[in-house]
Amino acid sequence: MSTIDKKLDIPFLLSEEQIGFYQENRFIKIKQVLDEETVGFYNQKISVLVDQINTETRKLEERDTYGKAFLQLFNLWQKDAAIQKLVFSKRLAGIAAQLMQVTGVRLYHDQALFKEAGGGITPWHADQYYWPLASDHTVTAWIPLQQTPMDMGPLEFSAGSHRITEGRELAISDDSEVLIGKRLRVTDFPVVAEPFDLGEVSFHSGWIFHRAGGNSSNQIRKVMTVIYMDKNMRLKQPENDGQQADWDAWCPGAPVGDIIDTPLNPILI
């Protein structure tokens, strides 16, 4: 086992204050989750794989808002053994379990989100719009593969906005940016928009509203994400086309009402 592999399994124990912050706001940013060596290693590994499997050839100006937001590639863990070790990391999965206050977590899926230089905004949205999951016991780890200043478009959160039900029916789009943004401006939920240090990772739940600015730098904003769910998560009947597509892609064969226990959804901790 390499030094990096060992570090990925070292537990990261959260304080009561950190868990309480997450429970109240449904997001948290945590510094020094990963060290410089680990981030650098996965920057190189994931970048090479993204270059190999990316099929987007259109220029930015030829794409819609979603297409301008990022290159999006899924389940890299199935394509590279080293990347699988990051996605299956007990260190990251353990943080997710502590934040949700559950006894274990499964993988939902992973995705690389590379916002190209000159790439556009990621509109306001809530991820769980797309997920056929029966509860909100979900956490996404958003892992920047470099230091991420404001001009690269780091993730922004509306703290505590998981309490808002209006806007949950909106897919990520120009409409979601306008309508959810308008709704959030008249609430008491503050928007947290901050840069990310090297090795800093954020964790957010499925129903918190979040967005990202455009990338006005001359570098690609490289991010890896891992979505975790309670190990006892059950599949619900899909309520939209996105949830049906996710069932087919990420939980194939799982029956509605049952715990999601498929080869694509292993227990990580």
Q: pLDDT tens digits for 145-184? A: 999 999 999 999 999 999 999 999 999 999 999 999 998 9
Q: pLDDT tens digits for 202-245? A: 999 999 999 999 999 999 999 999 999 999 999 999 999 999 99
**Rounded-to-integer distance, Cα 260 and Cα 4, Å:** 30
Residue 148 buriedness (CB in 10 A; 0-12 / 13-18 / 19+): buried
- Looking at residue 66, its pLDDT comes to 84
Percent of the chain with pLDDT over 70: 100
Strand runs labelled E in the chain? 27-30, 71-74, 105-115, 122-125, 138-144, 155-158, 191-193, 201-204, 210-212, 221-230
Enter the tokens of residue 52.
Answer: 């190999």
Enter the tokens of residue 96.
Answer: 């997710």
Q: Which residues does 197 contact at the CB level (< 8 Å), separation at least 6?
A: 31, 147
pTM exceeds cut of 0.75: yes
- Domains along the chain with CATH numbers: 3-250 (2.60.120.620)
Residue 1 has pLDDT above 80, yes or no: no
Residue 68 has pLDDT above 90, yes or no: no
